Chain A
Amino acid sequence: MRIRDLLAETFSAIRANRARSLLTILGIVIGISAVIAMTALIDGVKYAMVAQLGLNQSRLVMINAYPNGEPLQRSDLRQLEKGMTDYEFLTGTAGTSSSVSTGQVKLDGIYTNGVEDKYFVAMGSKFAEGRGFSEDEVDESALVAVVSQGLANKLWGQDADSVVGKSLSVGNDRYSVVGVLEDANGYTTGNETLYVPLSTFQTRIYNWGLDQVYGYAREGADLDTLGERTKSYLVSYYHLTGEDADGYVYIQTMKSMIDQLDSTMGAFQLLMTAVAGISLVVGGIGIMNMMLTNVTERIREIGLRKALGARRSDITRQFLLESVALCLVGGVFGILFGYLGAWALATLGSGLITSGMGMQITPVVTPSTVLLASGICIGIGLVFGYGPARRASRLDPVEALRYQ
């Protein structure tokens, strides 16, 4: 029997039993909904966190190195850059909190970050107004500043036309603002940061080494191996041994952060998997039950088909395809409801989380999730449809035709 004929037979059989079919696939619908909602939410949270952390620069490797307890200095980076050719550049930051004033407004505890010119490149920063620092400004410890939109709003009010060119004071120094950074994702909560050139920071605000070094990987580099290579390079460069190696050098890539996230999502995932698993098994049993009823109801039809030349395999395939098709229909509804459910949960969840983290979760359904769900459906259809289909195929045509 040809595939197209099989499909036509299947379609007409399912249509003939519309109401019963719909009820039967409910278990599958719920199970697949759970699978889809779970993966859509987890992926959504992942993307949201990545965006929140400002790590959508997937080429970023975070390097924390304190060889023998001492922080790195700017000059060290230039040396390291020569040896670590996997990176386009390394850039370091140092930070502390300080008091910022404009004369009218004075704010305490503003996070002040000393950065190099390439920092904004590495972070993929967008400027609402103005620009970042030039290499000269960093080299010459110029008294210039970049503010986050949140800080600009606090210092000059939301309605200020232009902030570039205004000045602010930190300690006894007056800085002229050259740029305003767009806040990540348009959220302003807790995002008040002042940026000054690294050299200016070190000479005038706080003289300490680099808190954090960012490596900007060359295009196409594999971040996992890059992280490993970076660590071993630093370990041998600074002649670190044993515990020192782990204690003084810490490398993190975005990928490793996502992996970390995955493990924290584990509990949630386990719960949803259990729900999905149970309802899929129950759904599968429902499918099996319906297929057994189908076979019994259609014994004479099976006898007829056999009399007309259907082989065992034709009958097996017909009923197997019917149960697979039922499961797939359930899967389609499941994907739909799962996505809607994920939206509902995300809206609810974002409301709770936003206040703390400023995070917007958007459920994400990827093609691989849809493929996974479809695969599960086909699997259930095959497993639970096999028994009834086999039973149908083994019916004796004479008995089946005589069946009342």
Chain B
Amino acid sequence: MATPVIETQNVYRIYEGAAGYTPALRGISLTVPRGEFLAIMGPSGSGKSTLMNILGCLDRPTTGTYRLQGIDVSDLSDDDLAHVRSTQLGFVFQSFNLLPRASVMRNVILPLLYSPVDPRERELRAIKALRAVDLPEEYWDHGSNELSGGQVQRVAIARALVADPPLLLADEPTGNLDTATGEMVMRTFLRLKARDKTVVLITHDAEVAAWADRTVHIRDGRLLTAEEERAFVERTARGARAAAGASDKDAASAVVPAGPTTPAPIAGPREASAL
């Protein structure tokens, strides 16, 4: 079997705070093969953001090992982790995180400033990435604050793609988008998967997770076992039927972030881009 893109073994992440030690992750073992589209689902406080930070090499496990592309990154120095991020990883954030004063083109090129890519190649790569996310050429020299939410997220995905990393990490990428734009973003991920990219998506939303090849559930810092998962799915389904009885509208708009079940704070594209 080929080397998996992600392989974690018994990863713990314990925070030290005034209240003592808080374990955010408690023995996560997860393997993601190349070309898989994986959704990690869990409510807020489940540890999914912590897991995302560790998978994204922004944080290190307290114990346990994390192999990215077969390389153990659990104990790398800050600078080495930065190098791993610039060559192996693409991030897509819920709040987009584009630089508002810079053009679309410059935003997409940004990761290449920190990578060994030849400066003469940058523009070409950015054009490729923007084509891959279907952003019309007329927007390329616009300021990122002149775009709609869906366009902004496509720019952000283009930025994640520009260094051609094998792994894309998306943290609630549709959290600030309406249903139609959210779907468009998910379709973009499917296309990338078809091009042998590995995509890991973090969400609290079952409808979004349904786009993925596989979904793992995280609760209290642990991945659910197959049985726990089956029980959980049944419970959710019952809840959904009850909700559908109460209000058809709510159930139908499960992807819509403005729904009452959405725990994530909502920032409009304008505020979010006020970085």
Residues of A within 8 A of B (CB): 1-2, 4-5, 9, 12, 16, 298, 300-301, 304-314, 397-398, 401
Contacts and interface: CB of A to CB of B under 8 A. Distances in A.
B101 A309 contact: no
Given A16-B101, A300-B97, A304-B275, A310 B59 contact: no
B78 A312 contact: yes
A309 B87 CA distance: 8
B114 A307 contact: no
Contact of A12 (B58, B102, B114): B102
A309 B82 contact: yes
A217 to B, nearest CB: 57
Chain A contact residues: helix, strand, loop or mixed: helix
B110 A300 contact: no
B233 interface: no
B50 to A, nearest CB: 9
Interface size on B, as a range, is 20 to 34
A308 B85 contact: yes
Contacts of A312: 78-79, 82
A310 B163 CA distance: 13
Residue in A4, A5, A311 whose Cβ sees the most chain B Cβ within 10 Å? A311
B111 A308 contact: yes
B262 interface: no
Contacts of B149: none
B16 to A, nearest CB: 14
Nearest to A307: B91
Given A301-B275, A308-B114, A309-B111, A398 B82 contact: no
A398 B86 contact: no
Contacts of A307: 56, 58, 85, 91
Contact of A401 (B93, B101, B114): B93
B115 interface: yes
B114 A304 contact: no
Interface string B91-110: 10100010101100000001
Contacts of B56: 307
Contacts of B264: none
B188 interface: no
B210 interface: no
B82 A311 contact: yes
B99 A301 contact: yes
Interface in B92-150: 93, 97, 99, 101-102, 110-111, 113-115, 119
Contacts of A401: 58, 93, 97
A308 B119 contact: no
Contacts of A309: 82-83, 85-87, 111, 114-115, 163
B179 interface: no
A305 B85 CA distance: 10
Contacts of A311: 78-79, 82-83, 114
B82 A5 contact: no
Nearest to B83: A309
A308 to B, nearest CB: 4
A16 B275 CA distance: 13
Contacts of A310: 82, 86, 113-114
Nearest to B165: A309
A310 B79 CA distance: 8
A25 B51 CA distance: 45
B53 interface: yes
Contacts of A305: 110, 114
Residue in A9, A298, A313 whose Cβ sees the most chain B Cβ within 10 Å? A9
Contacts of B53: 398
Nearest to B96: A304
A5 B91 CA distance: 22
B117 to A, nearest CB: 11
21 contacts: A1-B113, A1-B114, A2-B113, A4-B119, A5-B119, A304-B97, A304-B275, A306-B82, A308-B85, A308-B114, A309-B83, A309-B86, A309-B111, A309-B114, A309-B115, A309-B163, A311-B83, A311-B114, A312-B79, A313-B79, A401-B93
A401 B272 CA distance: 12
Contacts of B86: 308-310
Interface in B43-96: 53, 56, 58-59, 78-79, 82-83, 85-87, 91, 93
- Give 9 nearest A-B pairs by CB, closest first: A309-B86, A309-B114, A308-B111, A311-B82, A309-B85, A311-B79, A300-B275, A304-B97, A397-B58
Given A306-B82, A398-B59, 20 more contacts: A2-B113, A9-B113, A301-B275, A305-B110, A306-B58, A306-B85, A308-B114, A308-B159, A309-B82, A309-B87, A309-B163, A310-B113, A311-B78, A311-B82, A311-B83, A312-B78, A312-B82, A313-B79, A397-B58, A401-B93
